[in-house]
Structures are given as structure tokens and as C-alpha cells.
Structure 1
Amino acid sequence: MQTQLADFIRNTPDGEEADAILRKCVHCGFCTATCPTYQLLGDELDGPRGRIYLIKQMVEGAAVTRSTQLHLDRCLTCRSCETTCPSGVQYGRLVEIGRQHVEAAVSRPLRQQLLRRLLATVLPNSAVFTPAMRLGQLVRPFLPRRVRDKIPARQRMLEWPTKETPTRVKLHAGAGADADSPAQTRRMLMLAGCVQPAMLPNINIATARVLHALGIETVIEPEAGCCGAIRLHLGYRDEALDDVRRNIDAWWPHVEAGIEAIVINASGCGATVKEYGHLLRGDPAYAEKARRITGLTRDIAEVLSGFEAELAGLARRRGVHTVAFHPPCTLQHGQQIRGTVEHLLTTLGVETRLPADSHLCCGSAGTYSVTQPVMSYTLRDRKLRNLEALEPQMVVSANVGCIAHLQSGTSMPVAHWVELVEHLIYG
């Protein structure tokens, strides 16, 4: 696809990246077949190819309208189109550039402005979000259904592992360690997240307990916060980059001390942290640090896939033998991690079934269920029908947003797959 960049974006980092991405697109339309919004609406402009044309027109200087903004708003940023694309078009990066410039060109209705500002202010700020979530859980039975759907019931929290908690497997630190030397504690840094500790705290605790069983200490840096995804996808790019820099500053002493990895159990956060090197590529003070952080970041599935034999030796069949797995878009399309969770759970004696539409989004997509509720709930209900048709004992996923979204529409248990692994080990 040939482009002629307009003066306002020519010779800028966004312009150069948009131009390179657009030139890869060959108009084939394969992406439309796996786009959830195109499937629902049947409008070319609500599919990846149509949105690419809109962004092309924008960077070439065409007038940007409220209609352009609406079509970009409807995009889930699920990146299923990237997995399908034979030309390697990095649509996710392109749509973020498009949204950034549309936000600067088109004024939103006041109600939308207030809602988006509220989301960008409250959700990434755990000091505000946590007490708000606690209050919501307290009065949850009395709330309207639409509000109640956003507030998971409060969990009975597991215990965080301590030095007194038995370590189930003794592992030597590092390849090539002397087999006769005493086992050393391995240490990994974990991103707690901004909403997850308040909404579904057992995901983090279960992660720490599973790693502890393998002889790995989990460290959480309290100065780290939101990964930046919420503000980035809402169009508050500068604030999102501040989130990124804050996390890098908080983690850097641990990196210098030789932390083994940064493990993340929310695939949406993982997909964003793995982009830190790209997001700060033009920042001379942070570019190299950001690349280092990206290189250290691992989804919990990537970490545990190296311990299948040890986990199989620890796991005990405790009543759960069949699950349906919903792979989040940020795991399978954003991070390109496919089959890892399924293989691991199967190794542990759990039959893991995928729905026919496993490649499609459940409609959660960060704040999408708030900003585009009709589309979001339509996708959720379709996803749940396909998951329940598998007749599992429970549904497991790998991202807090997907889990909370699916929980709101079914009586079937929905949990993070690492919580199931913890249950298999500890009971």
C-alpha cells in the first residue's frame, strides 16, 4: 500500500512507523475473517482492512471525522488480524498511532470525555481503585445488574507463601550448577497489577504459591503500578509512558541485583510490558533500560512450561479433571503464546478443551466493556455459549479482565488457570 504522508506527521517516529506498516498491507482481506467486530456488524470500516484505509487517509492529510473515531473506538485491539495476516502487518501498533492522532483532531461528546477520564484516573490508581472495589463488594447484592457485573464477589484469600511454607521441589540456581551443592533460592519479580489485587487477589497469591513450590521466591516491588495499558488504549499516551517509566525505575534495582525474570500472570499486562522497548525506543534516558525489561518479561505460562515434570510430580487429582480454556487475545495474538497452557494442564492430568471460536475475543478488551457495552456483551454471550457447550467443570483463562467479564455471564466457575495449578498442588 503506497502512502504520501502529510506534513504534520512526515519525518516523525509515528509517521515513519505508520508508513512502514501501511506499506506491508496488500489489501488481501484475510483479516476480516477473524475480526470479531466485522463478524458482528458486517461493515468494512469495522474490520482491520477498513480501519487501515481510514488511518491511511488520516496520515495523508484527509479530514478526520467523528465517524473515523467511532470505527477506531469499536476496535477491540484483539490483534487476531495480526495472527491471520500473511504479510505481517502490525495492526496493533498502527491503530494506536491512529487513535492518538484522532484524539488530537476530534473532540468527543462531554459524556465520553468524562467517562474516559474517569477510567484513566481510577483504574490505574490502586490507592483509589482498591477501596472503591471493597465498597462495591460490600454493597454488591443491592447494585443494578450492569454495575454488579463489574464487581466480582470478594474472594476468600489464600495465604502468601513464607519461609515456613514447605518448598516442594529443591532446584539448583542456574544451568550447570554443581549437583552436590545446596539448592539456592531463585528469585523472580512479579507485577502485581493495578486492579487485579483488589478484584481477584488469589491470582497473584496462587502464582507465588506455585513458584514457591518450585523453589522460586516471588518478589513484588510496591513502587510499581499499572503497566500502562489502560491509559495507552484510552488515548492518554503521555500518561501511559509515565506509567512505563515509573515501573522501570521501580524495577531497575532488582534488575541490577540479578533478578531472574519479571513474571506476569495477566496476559494484557504482559503484552504491554513486552512492548516497553518499543514504546520508549526514542527516549535516550530509558530506551536501553526498557529493552532490558522487555527481555526479562515472561508470562507465567512461559515460566512454568520449563517445570512440567516437577509440577506433574507435585500435582494431585483433586476433583477437577475437565476444563474449558479461553485463551485471551493478549496471550495468543499479542504475545503469540499458543498451546502452552493447554499442554501444561494436560500434563497435570486435566483434560483441556478449546471452543470452536478460541481465536476470537470474549469482548472484555480492557475498558471496552464499559465504553462499548453492547458489542462487548454480545461477544461475551457468544463466547460463553461455546465454552459451556464443551461441558467442562470450570472455565479457565489467563487474564483478569477476561475472567471477570466471563464470570459476570455464567454460573459456571471461572478462574485463572494458575489458580487451578495451585489447587492441584496444595488442595
Structure 2
Amino acid sequence: MKRIRIVVAAGMVSLLGVGASPVAAKSMVYFNGFPAPGAAYLVDWQPKSRTRVVSGVGASVGVYTDDGSQRVITLNPPIESAWVVEPDACGAAELVRQIKQVIVRDLPAETQIVEIGQDVWRGGCSDGDTTPFGSFDDVGTSMQRMSMGARPPMTDIVPGLEMAGPSDEDWPLMIDFWPAQATVSVQSGAVMFKGAGHVYPAAFSPDGWWVMDLAGHQRTQTRLRVDAKTGGEFWLMADWANGLAQRVTAVSFAKTSLDAGFGTVAKAARMWQYGGSVGTSSPFFHYLYKSGWGERVTKSLDTGGETRAPIDAWGLDEADLWEQRKLSNSSILLNRRWVPVSRHGNKIHWVIEHYESMQDGVTTVLLPARVNYLVDTGKAVPPAR
């Protein structure tokens, strides 16, 4: 079996502008993942059963049919994404995913999205082999939906504001991945990425996108939701070309605040619930004990059980909180770092999270930096040993 490498080289048939979005189109966004980054689709439903679809890996145009229960979009050309794989005995190869159709099934409380297509081997010993995926009977992925005409305003994005969430990093072409997020300072007609100090021109488009002119390309974002309960926000991020979105993903943003931070080790020794697990049947926690170790705890609300895995060490590096654990029977270290962004009330802390592995002095990014929140659920007390 061929192994797909983590380092990706990608190609996309439909990356550059395919089709313009006419004024009469009804633009809808379908998304999931709050607060962590998640998949998204931007669909322009156009007159005469035509449409333009933007996914996490590309964009294309097509036509659709509607039988009253679901709309079936047939894309021409397919949306393609290609992964370089380890060479086999016959030489180099790549695995190409072709999305040929997209089913959009609107239910009262959600929308189900189904992708239909095939995976194709190009090159290597399996050259030409295909594996279909998706079917008209699939339940699909449940997503929220929103008209792009219902987006909240962005009039508060003014010089002096600092916001965690935008990115000027490369966007790896891997399903459900996103470009590493950072904190920006809004300037007049520009933004400055605080970590790297990069400054780029930025402006708002007439149709409500915050457009940043990065080196060699444009990246845009638009606000989808402001969450009063957590103080965070959900945005749609896109790479642009020819005035159109070419890839999209849904990500969290958060405004910075002066009271961000964990304080001392004693104050940070808490049971931190991961924001992405709030409201699920499997809440996930980091129990950080004052003595410098901790546990990753996953609870099952269905069965009442829980699983625990050790955190070997944790501490504070100035304002940042770090933790480290070693994989069993290996020399691999997993390092996580939470960079404070803001606080909402006494319990919710927004952070930029970094997650990497280290082996033999080589560091590998496991997840691009992402904006997420933590909930302080109380003092962490270590179990009796």
C-alpha cells in the first residue's frame, strides 16, 4: 500500500477563476466546526439551474437538478486535489481526488452535504486505478447554512483593533486543513501580522469581504457569526483570484483583550475543557496539576465512563502555557502551546493553539496554529497514587 506523505505537493484543475457570480445569484454558505476550524462550502445558486461551488480544495461551475428533497450539482470540470505519495517500484505517483457531484439536502435544522466522485492513481504501479466515493443514498456531512446576505456587519474592524484569526501562511492542500492563524493589528488601509511583523494592504470589498493583498495572492475573510456566549466569532476564510473565492474554510476569530493570560502556575492548574467538545456527548479536558504534570481526560456522557492519558509536564513560558507528553515506547515528544488572546468572563479563555511533534531534534507541525477557546471548569486535583 502506498503511504501519503504529510508534506503535500498539490495541483488543482479549477483553482483559477472559473465562472463569475452573477448579481442575481443567491449565495449560501454551509459550514461546521465552531469553534475549531472546519469544512465549508460557498455555493452561488444562479438562474437557469446553474451554480458555482467553492470547497476546501477548489472551485468549479456546474448545473443542478432539484427534486424537492435535494439538489444535485454536476460539476464541469470536477474539483481536483492531488497528493504526492511515496514512490513505489514503478516510480513516482500521485493520488488525485475528483469531486464530480455535490448533493445539497436542506433539512429543517441543518443541511446535509454529500460529495460524489473518484480517487484516481496517476503514475506508479497503480496508474489508472480508480476508487469511487459517495453515493446518492449517503447521509453526508451535517452542516449549518446561512445566506451570505445575512452576515453581520464588520464596521468595528477599524485601525487600532487587534484580532486573532487571519493568516498569511501557505495553505496546505489537505482536506479539513487550514492556513496557520495569527494575530493582526488593523492599520489604516493595511494589517500587520504581529508575530512576523509583515504588513499588507487590506480593504473591504463592496460585497463584504476583508481582502488582504499578500505576497503574490489575495486572502479574504468575512464574518459569519458573533457568539455572545463565548465572546468568539466564526468567519469564512478564502483564497481569492480574479475577484472570486477559490477555496474556503470556516475558522474562529477572537478580538484580543488586555486581561488575556493564565496568571501563575497555581492559577493555571485547572480542569480546562476544550472548546470544540462543549455541547458534545464526549467532552474533552486537559487536567493540569499544580505539581507540573497532568492528564488528558475524555468523558462519555452516554456511558458515564472516561479515559485518561498522561501529560508528562506543563508550565508557563512568560504568558504562554505549554504542555508536553511522550508517546509510549517511542522517542516522539508531542508539544502543545496555548498563546493567550482574550478572556470572556471568568471562565472562557481564547488562545492560539500550536501543536507539534519532535523526534531526534526535528520538529513537525501536526496541526496549523488555530484559534480556539478553553473553559475553566474548576481546580484540577490529582488522583491518589
TM-score category by the smaller chain?
Answer: under 0.3
Larger proportion of helix: 1
Q: TM-score, normalised by structure 2?
A: 0.23
Larger proportion of strand: 2
Q: TM-score, normalised by structure 1?
A: 0.22
